[in-house]
Amino acid sequence: MRSHSVIPSVRMVACLVLTTLLVACGSATTAPATTAPATTATPAATGGTLRVAYGLWWGGAESIDPLSAVPFLDAVNILYDRLVRLDATGKLVPELATAWSANADATVWTFTLREGVTFHNSAPFTSADVAYSIKRLLDPAQEAGLAGIYQIIKQIETPDPRTVVFTLAQPHAELPVLFTIYRAAIIPAESSASIAQTGIGTGAFQLAQLNPTGTTRMTAYAKSWRGAPKLDAIELIGIADADARFQALQAGQIDVLLETSPQQLTALKDNPAFVVQTFPGGIWYSLTMRTDTPPFNDVRVRRALRLLVDRQQILTLVQQGMGSIACDTTVWSGDPYRWQGSCPQDLAQARKLLAEAGYPNGLDLTLFTSDSLSGMTPLAEVYQQQAALAGVRVTIKQVPADSYWTETYGVEPFVIDGEYQYPADLSLHLFYGKGGGYNVSKFDDPAFEQLLAEARATLDPQQRSQRYQQAQQYLLEQDGTIIPFHANEEFSFSRRVAGLQTVPYIDMRWDLVTLAAK
């Protein structure tokens, strides 16, 4: 928030994947046929075109293929449906699947699919489409880097058009959770080659015009299985600059802004023309050390560098208090598997550990950051001040936003990262697992892997929760990722808009949103 240029290249490039708010909740058996997520929609108005700002995270290279390395997140969420989804309360709700069940040891999962669903090209939706879409997730050659997570699926069978059976290589008590993220969107069978152009899905809106740097227009799909949506159309308008997005909202050029900075929020708070909606979420920033590179390969150094952190101060200064303190876990506060530990600052212990590790006179480090996300550089600056108290001298190197995610992050030994929340199981595998796509700390620990495998295989929710929490506690002691806080979700929008749910925008049900006439 301090480093600030007029056109910051706010582009999140490779590896930074914004994903869904996923609250893994225990009950993985059958669910009722239809549940509408909680909504504040008023039935007053229907129709109209809703204009939503899109941050151009990939600078115009966006693709509407759900498995692209440069996914057009907002459009992917609108165009396609998933088998199941998590609602605002963190409950699994049916989407294209109406029911699911597992065998006794959770190695065979059977999903029953919804009747009467059609794709935007009028083709009927069947089990073949599901098998095809999920097989794409298993393909090691996919761009999204998620194959490792889905490798436990050994076999996919389609005994009839309404049934899909997944056979797993090892037990997984919460397989459906893996299908709740936008990456697991269902596309028509054999459409891999064309999906990036057509965008044909089963969603409530269909693609009319695709232009990420300009206006991407999606119109109501009248034959949607959910019934026709309330809006006539949604337009995603690409604006790379955060200030320009905010001005466009104020000038009435857009109706909805889904990422609002704490300062912009303060500015809008008292304005009667706009509504501000904030709620706890799981966006997190981290200081990430490579555990395979000196001096961070010494666990005492890693412990010292996290003991010197004053998390409350970071939350206050970087995020203006809009978030919650975290003890280095990627699992957010609303997740049932979140470990609620405490991690107070302890400068004396930090100094002691550094001395033991052979740095009695402190340590010189270089921390890499960029202006890609507004909180990154302030986090580096505050950490620099705190580290100095323990004799750790941090030099901040700021790198251009454009090349940060491709050239710096994942390469340099000490970097600032910013990521989105995933359900506990996905998150812990992705960020710390041996084959995890986003394991920037290069954490490679058999004991940790063991805990995760046990959690997946445990059918008792109580014991499973215990394993996941133990895994997080283990990370606080062993790994090199410092996560001081999780940030709130912050939406701001015109008073004419109603029905936005308290879920991350990537999980928004846009068919429930309405726009009142001027």
The DSSP result for 27-93, as a single string, is --S---S--PPP----TT----EEEEEE--TTTT--B--TT-SSB-HHHHHHH---SEEE-TTS-EE
Residue 321 in contact with other proteins, rule: CB under 8 A:
no
29: contact with other proteins by CB under 8 A? no
250 binds other proteins (CB under 8 A): yes
Q: Which is nearer to other proteins, 193 or 251 (CB)?
A: 251
Strand partners, 363: 392
Minimum distance, C-beta of residue 405 to other proteins, in the bound complex (Å): 11
> With helix as H, strand as E and coil as C, how does 307-341 read?
HCCCHHHHHHHHHCCCEEECCCCCCCCCCCCCCCC
Position among 237, 307, 394, 513 found at the interface with other proteins (CB under 8 A)? 237
Amino acid identity at 2: R
Which of 480, 473, 437 has its CA nearest to residue 455? 473
Over the window 270 to 309, marking each residue x when it contacts other proteins by CB under 8 A and - when it does not, the resulting string is xx--------------------------------------
With CB under 8 A as the contact rule, the residue among 131, 267, 343, 355 that binds other proteins is 267
Q: How many CB atoms lie within 10 A of CB 122?
A: 8
Is there binding between residue 214 and other proteins (CB under 8 A)? yes
Identity of the residue, 5 or 194, whose beta carbon is nearer to other proteins in the bound complex: 5
φ and ψ at residue 73, rounded to 5 degrees: -50, -55
Of the chain, the end-to-end C-alpha distance in Å amounts to 34
Burial class (CB in 10 A: 0-12, 13-18, 19+), 452: buried
Query: Does 495 contact other proteins by CB under 8 A?
Result: no
- Give me the amino acid identity at 102: A
Residue from 5, 89, 194, 293 touching other proteins (CB under 8 A): that is: 5
Polymer length in residues for the chain: 518
Closest to other proteins by CB, 190 vs 364, is 364
Residue from 163, 167, 215, 278 touching other proteins (CB under 8 A): that is 215
Q: Binding to other proteins by residue 517, rule CB under 8 A?
A: no
Per-residue binder mask for other proteins (CB under 8 A), 111-150, x = binder:
----------------------------------------
CB 209 within 8 Å of CB 215:
yes
Interface residue list for other proteins (CB under 8 A):
1-9, 59, 211, 213-215, 237-239, 241, 243-244, 246-248, 250-254, 263-264, 266-268, 270-271, 317, 368, 397, 399-403, 407-408, 411-412
